[in-house]
Amino acid sequence: MPIIQSIEVCAAAVPLDIVTSFSNRSVSTRHYGLVRIRSTDGVEGIGFCYVGSAGGAIFTAAVRDLLAPVLINGDSYAVEGLWQKMNQEALLQGRAGTVMRAISALDIALWDLNAKTHGLPLHKFMGAVELDAVPAYASGGYYLDGKTPQHLGEEMASYVDKGFKAVKMKSGRLSPREEEQRLKAAREAIGPDVELMMDMNNAWADTTEAMQYVRRFEQYDPYFFEEPFLPDDIDNHARLAKLTRVPIATAEIGYGRWYHKELMDKGAASILQTDAAVCGGITEWRRIAQTAASYGLVMCPHWFHDLHAPLVASTPNARYVEFFWNDQVLNFRNLIDRQLSHKDGNVILHQEPGLGFGFDEKFIAKFAKWETIS
């Protein structure tokens, strides 16, 4: 019986080589919360999350002072019970935000630990649908100074040249006319048969503003409109879903099954981008995905392709992994010792036990110092 013997935690503030711009903000540094859980069997599981562009110390405090004491000396197989204990302990400090992300990271580490204990890759440990590979879309199209619509089109086409059959671009920062020019350039560059996603990053305030863009965009056949409004503005998501033929995608910053249930009940999204490093970990992600299946909804998880590839592989109603080609946006790639490969638009699944990768300790040591709780 594997008993949780110790937990290590740190937060790494990792600068980006290039400032990354979205519809309404720019990011120069990313803070990642990292954990390691070791069992009495000598097996170690890892977990992680993105905290934001600041505030990594909040994550460390949540794990050290609030959550780790609940897990120490627990049976690592009691994943559901341990999740309940962490959630109960955190009711006053936060059922969302950084505290829920800390729960997520610890839960991910438990799944990694248990899969490693049994010598199985995570997707097989959870019960696989796909054994070898899963579809992925190439995510990019960020705003940079001097980047023209032609440059955007060239970037999108470069992903198609690498074998991807679906790509995603940012939108919502500029005027409707300017954004249409960007979308037109992207569509013309990739052709009519490649799926083209659009990510607004909460750019619009209401459906009146949204429709100024949507009317221009629909003719270019987007695969989805992502995060058109603030995440808690569920009613406007539902209104827009009735006004456009393009599917609405959201929930990347969604916390817990109850938030997602409201999205589903109100018809606010056709595609859920639920992030297991945000919503409450793999345990909560699986609950949400199973409920979504009953509503006929599709899971296309956000961010962290290394984490989400095995989840997509073990979920019948999951369609795509969001894949980042380089570390200019997802610089978490630098914190791990092995990268996923891809071929013909599919991510190739790791076959080693657990997640199939570990932390790059030399790189992490440049930005963080581990604390141990036992």
Strand partners, 52: 31
Q: What is the greatest pairwise CA distance in the chain?
A: 62
In the predicted model, is pLDDT for residue 330 greater than 90?
A: no
pLDDT tier for residue 69 given thresholds of 50, 70 and 90 = very high
- Mean pLDDT, range 284-302, rounded to an integer: 98
Q: Report the mean per-residue pLDDT for the chain.
A: 96
Say if residue 22's pLDDT is above 90. no
How far apart CA 296 and CA 319 sit, in angstroms, is: 12
- pLDDT of 20 above 80: no
Q: What is the mean pLDDT of residues 331-337?
A: 95
pLDDT at 349: 98
Res. 24: pLDDT tops 80: no
| Confidence at 374, pLDDT banded by 50, 70, 90 | very high
For residues 118-147, average pLDDT: 97
pLDDT at 56: 94
- Check residue 17 and give its pLDDT: 83
CATH class of 124-348: alpha beta
Dihedral angle over CA of 303, 304, 309, 312, nearest 10: -40
Closest Cα partner for 27 from 230, 273, 275, 331? 331
Contact 276, 104 (CB under 8 A): yes
pLDDT at 18: 80
Does residue 228 contact residue 239 with C-beta atoms inside 8 Å? no
Q: Which CATH number fits domain 3-119+361-369: 3.30.365.10, 3.50.90.10, 3.30.390.10, 3.40.50.2000?
A: 3.30.390.10
Look at residue 348 and tell me whether its pLDDT is greater than 80: yes
Q: What percent of the chain has pLDDT over 90?
A: 93
Q: What's the rounded mean pLDDT across residues 317-346?
A: 94
Over 90: is that where the pLDDT of 26 sits?
A: no
Instruction: Tell the residue number behind the tokens 């940079």, with chain if given.
Output: 144
Mean pLDDT on 268-278: 98
pLDDT at 263: 98
Q: Quick one: pLDDT at residue 207?
A: 98
In this model, does residue 19 exceed pLDDT 90?
Answer: no
31, pLDDT greater than 80? yes
Query: Residue 315 and residue 318: Cα distance in Å, rounded?
Result: 5
Dihedral through CA 269, CA 273, CA 279, CA 282, nearest 10? 130
| pLDDT per residue as tens digits for the range 201-260 | 999 999 999 999 999 999 999 999 999 999 999 999 999 999 999 999 999 999 999 999
Under the banding of pLDDT at 50, 70 and 90, the label for residue 329 is confident
Query: Can you give the residue ranges of every domain in the chain?
Result: 3-119+361-369, 124-348
